[in-house]
Homo-oligomer: A and B are copies of this chain.
Amino acid sequence: MKELALIKLEERGVTVDDIATIVLDLQRNYQDVTLEDCRATVLSIISKSETIYTILTGIAIDVAAEKGLLDTEINSLIAKDYGLYGLDEILALSIVNMNGSIALTNFGYLDKTKPGIIGVIDKEGKSEAKCHTFLDDIICAIASSAASRIAHRMEKK
């Protein structure tokens, strides 16, 4: 199902390179790291079944909200990315939690500062036509988890 997750991400406007670029920006101040390292680590995070399920479930909810398939009240909250909804961040914890404390703090940081593709997706999701309420948090989770894994790996050298 990993291929499906990657296809879904692309269909929604997100490439592995978009995420790898964020990881590189997070870690380059701390470590000697290349975009290629970041790309490989992002792919390795996306290969885990927890990540695949989260990508597929989160995008499925976004698309359902986009099409207005959910009950009116909850559809409206999700479609407008209501700030106090909160389940988008919770779902993304399925990825973040597996990757330790550095993933957790970077997750919050990315969610607030929205660099690169995160900001693009967030902005597009706030338009009428698109809903990316779950997707932007999932990208934050993948990027912060990749950053955490690189930090841990470099440590061991």
Q: 12 new A-B pairs (CB below 8 Å) besides A69-B69, A86-B100?
A: A4-B73, A49-B152, A53-B85, A53-B86, A60-B71, A64-B69, A90-B90, A94-B100, A97-B97, A97-B98, A98-B99, A109-B111
A binding-site residues for B, Cβ under 8 Å: 1, 4, 8, 49-50, 53-54, 56-57, 60-61, 64, 69-71, 73-74, 77-78, 83-91, 93-94, 97-102, 104-113, 144, 151-152, 155
A135 to chain B, nearest CB (A): 15
A60 to B144, CA, bound (A): 29
Max chain B Cβ within 10 angstroms of own Cβ: one of A49, A70, A84, A155 = A84
